[in-house]
Amino acid sequence: MEAIQLPEDVLLSVICRAVAGPRAACIAATVSPAFRAAADSDTVWSRFLPADLAPLVYPDSAPPPRSKKELFLRLSGTHALLEDGLTSAWLDRETGAKSYMIAARAMNITWVDTPDYWRWIPRQDSRFPACAELLAVCWLDISGRIRSRVLSDNTRYAAYLVFKMDDDCYGLDSPLQSASVSVGEDTSTYQIRLQSNAGHQEDPAHSAAPPPRLPKERPDGWMEVELGDWYNHGCDDIEICARVRETRFGGNWKKGLILEGLEIRPKN
């Protein structure tokens, strides 16, 4: 018995209704040549591309994408700079949700303009022209901001501080730093330790508190620590602020933090 061949427009309509995301579209493309043609079409992949994605800056050598699917794969496989040069953007490959990294240059860093405390250094392994290197301070206060309207609706996001440590770093393991994410007037706060120290003994006064969040190494060789998460409903345009600071002024002197930026991406 011959297989029933659906008209091309009907098959395309079915796939547009059936696939819930990029992964499902890729799976549908493996069913048959007819499914592949429909699942790889611009009609399907246009649904995974945000209509309000800001203009991106690509190398002059990069050829223009030949299809919406190729554009999606490019945006989800690389980090492209926005026109301001201080923000990189990409799409989450699983969901298509927008993700960003805000450069250290665009963040608020206490005393960053004081040459004895901080300096700007180039890094070949960074997405941005310069990173902030901590020379010596006795108090940390670092924050970055983004508007909820530039994020994808109905998506849970998390903010991550992205950094490295010099070989001669010190003073960043104690006291614990306070990490917070404020969405409008709502704030969630956690304890973190920027510099892991397996032999460090916690203050007995904090023994009943949850253990601090510790940094983890990323595939790109940088470290990250989660500062908090939130659900972006997309109903209103709200300022979101992620912050790392020490609550006690005049603590230990510290050195060696190399800050690349603040990454905001879906929390899978």
| Contact between 264 and 148 (Cβ < 8 Å) | no
The reported pLDDT for the residue numbered 1 is 36
Given this model, what pLDDT does residue 166 score? 92
Please tell me the predicted confidence (pLDDT) of residue 224: 97
Q: Which one of 28, 44, 78 terminates a domain?
A: 78
Within a domain: 83 = no
Are 180 and 257 within one domain? yes
Tell me, yes or no, whether 87 lies in a domain.
Answer: no
Tell me which DSSP letter residue 100 carries. E
Helix, strand, coil shares of the chain as percentages rounded to 5? 20, 35, 45
Give the HSE-up count for residue 137: Cα atoms under 13 Å, Cβ half-sphere: 23
**Please, what's the b/e burial string for 9-42 (b: 16 or more CB within 10 A of its CB; e: otherwise)?**
eebbeebbeebeebeebbebbeeeeebeebbbbe
Q: Around Cβ 73, how many Cβ atoms within 10 Å?
A: 17
Q: How far is residue 14's CA from residue 92's CA, in Å, rounded to a whole number?
A: 24
Other C-beta atoms within 10 Å of 189: how many? 13
d(CA 98, CA 147): 13
- Give the global pTM: 0.87
Give the domain range for residue 262: 98-266
Pick the closest to residue 222 from 135, 110, 142, 131 (CA basis).
Answer: 131
Give a yes or no: residue 126 inside a domain.
yes
Q: Give 10-residue mean pLDDT values along the chain (268 residues).
A: 56 67 78 76 83 62 79 86 88 90 97 96 95 95 96 95 94 90 94 75 59 94 97 90 85 92 94
Q: Residue-wise over 126-157: b if at least 16 C-beta within 10 A, else e?
A: bbbeebbbbbebebbbbbbebebebbbeebeb
Q: What is the CATH number of the domain that holds 131?
A: 2.60.120.260
The number of distinct structural domains making up the chain is 2
| pLDDT at res. 2 | 45
Q: Looking at the domain assignment, is residue 192 inside a domain?
A: yes
